[in-house]
Amino acid sequence: MKLELTEREELLLCVNNCAQKLNIPFLVIGATARDFLLSHYDKNIASPSSTLDVDIACRVDGWTAYNKLYQCLIKQEEISLDKTMMHRLLFRDKIPLDLLPFGLIGDDNNQVVWPGREDIELSVIGFEDAYISRISIWIADEMFSVACFAALVWLKLSAWCDNKSRTKDLLDIWFIIDNYLELIPEERIYAEDGIDRDIFDDENFSTMRAGARLLGRDIRRKGGVSVRKLFGNIMKQSGEPSDNFVMAMTKVAPSSINSLDIIDMLQVLCVELFDV
């Protein structure tokens, strides 16, 4: 029986076809990764937002490899250019495909600068760590690498730090933390030898605090120095409310959650992240 694929899945098959021809590894990130993980783990949890966008992080050693992949994709019948962004293509004239390079193409500051366009700069903080901690998911008998939930949090935090108007990134961060207790394998917390069984020992236990603690542990286990620095900078934030992570998070969290709750959540996460 022929499988019925979504348009996002069909697009990913096109990307995989080109990437395999050129031997270029890639990673599905963003909201598409979130939705695929929910389906992969059979979690009946509604996503906080819907999107058709597909974000692909391609691991390349330079612009020659990136351009080969880019050119291969635009030669596909249903993929066209999007003139608004240099890294964006369109599938069937409606589904944006963001092709984001990382790897040796980046500089020592985890930045990728487009040749001849110094005004176009992409932060790739945590991309390599996300690739190393990737999850394998099958789509139509083809295997895809998808960023894990913990990696999605640090990637979205980095994206928000670069552009404070990206409230959808904060919404996803809140969604993952608030549901993290249900998103991880049950044996980690419920099995007698579960590595995180102690999570229930917190005298101020709540699902939000537990999710933040577990997430902090996973970021510590899977994230590198640049990821820890990213969270360390967030803990030191001050200044205008519009530029402050805590205040920004209160705008996307439920009305029952106030700034003190967000501060507590962040502190709990960072205690585990920095293992102090």
4: DSSP letter: P
- Reduce the DSSP state of residue 61 to 3 states and report it: coil
What would the mean pLDDT of 113-142 be, rounded to a whole number? Answer: 91
CATH code at 118?
3.30.460
CA distance 78 to 98: 15
Q: Which residue has the higher pLDDT, 46 or 68?
A: 68
Looking at the structure, tell me whether residues 140 and 162 fall in a common domain. Answer: no
Residue 168 has pLDDT above 50, yes or no: yes
In a domain, 1, yes or no: no
Looking at the structure, tell me whether residues 136 and 166 fall in a common domain. Answer: no
The number of angstroms, rounded, from the C-alpha of 143 to the middle of its chain's C-alpha atoms is 19
Residue 238 has pLDDT above 80, yes or no: no
Two tokens, residue 158: 């980095």
Residue 182 has pLDDT above 50, yes or no: yes
Neighbouring C-beta atoms of residue 164, cutoff 10 Å = 15
What was the pLDDT predicted at 115? Answer: 86
H or E, element range at 97: strand 95-102
Looking at the structure, tell me whether residues 143 and 168 fall in a common domain. Answer: no
Residue 269 has pLDDT above 50, yes or no: yes
What would the mean pLDDT of 179-208 be, rounded to a whole number? Answer: 91
Tally the domains of the chain. Answer: 2
Q: Which of 113, 147, 181 is the last residue of a domain?
A: 147
Share of the chain above pLDDT 70, in %: 96
**Which structural domain range is residue 18 located in?**
7-147
pLDDT class for 3, splitting at 50, 70, 90?
A: low
What would the mean pLDDT of 197-203 be, rounded to a whole number? Answer: 90
The number of angstroms, rounded, from the C-alpha of 212 to the middle of its chain's C-alpha atoms is 16
Looking at the structure, tell me whether residues 106 and 200 fall in a common domain. Answer: no
What would the mean pLDDT of 45-69 be, rounded to a whole number? Answer: 92
What was the pLDDT predicted at 239? Answer: 47
Looking at the structure, tell me whether residues 120 and 239 fall in a common domain. Answer: no
Strands (DSSP E) contained in 17-94 are: 26-29, 54-59, 79-81, 88-91
What was the pLDDT predicted at 148? Answer: 97
Q: Which residue has the higher pLDDT, 263 or 243?
A: 263
pLDDT class for 23, splitting at 50, 70, 90?
A: very high
List, in sequence order, every residue forming a beta bridge with 226; answer none if it has no partner: none
Looking at the structure, tell me whether residues 214 and 191 fall in a common domain. Answer: yes
Looking at the structure, tell me whether residues 99 and 200 fall in a common domain. Answer: no
Q: pTM of the entire structure?
A: 0.94
